[in-house]
Amino acid sequence: MVAIAAGPGAAQQVQKPAPAPKPTQVHVMVVVNHVSQHPGPVDPAAAKLERRLRPDFKYKSVRVIQTEQMSLALNQTGSLTLPTGRLLKVKPRKLGQRGLLMTVEIEGTLRTSLRVPNHHQVVIGAQNYQDGKLVVTLEPDYEYP
């Protein structure tokens, strides 16, 4: 917006500062875990998930199977093939003060929209796998003015 002042002196131009650009790129850490009732170790790489699940779920072992850092533009879809052969799709839609709105789909089983605050982990129970279940965690990382 430009304003011009007229009067007895020279004209002055006053400019309003441009708004800060909105981020166009987000990073989503995707971790595919296997939880099982069979005795075994708790993978140190799954420690954050294990702390979240322990109070509510009974299992005896947790291990990380896959980890992928997705760098995506808004409305760009990232995908990852799960050990079951199904495709996991992640699509960041919109950034706001309350978090990142993203669509998550696991081919043939789940399609949902989630709003996740920056650096917060969302846990999705995916499918039966081997002697247990797959558990997918998604954790966005982005800058918001």
pLDDT of 21 > 60? The answer is: no
Query: 134, 32 in Cβ contact below 8 A?
Result: yes
Give the Cα separation of 35 and 73 in Å (integer).
Answer: 31
Answer yes or no: pTM beyond 0.75.
Answer: yes
Q: Which has the higher per-residue pLDDT, 88 or 55?
A: 88
Give the Cα separation of 30 and 82 in Å (integer).
Answer: 11
pLDDT of 4 > 50? The answer is: no
Q: 78-81 and 87-96 as β-strands: parallel, antiparallel, unpaired?
A: antiparallel
Q: What is the pLDDT of residues 89-107, one digit of tens each?
A: 999 999 988 999 999 999 9
Q: What are the phi and psi torsion angles at 16 (to 5°)? A: -85, 135
- What value does the mean pLDDT take over residues 138-143? 93
pLDDT of 43 > 90? The answer is: no
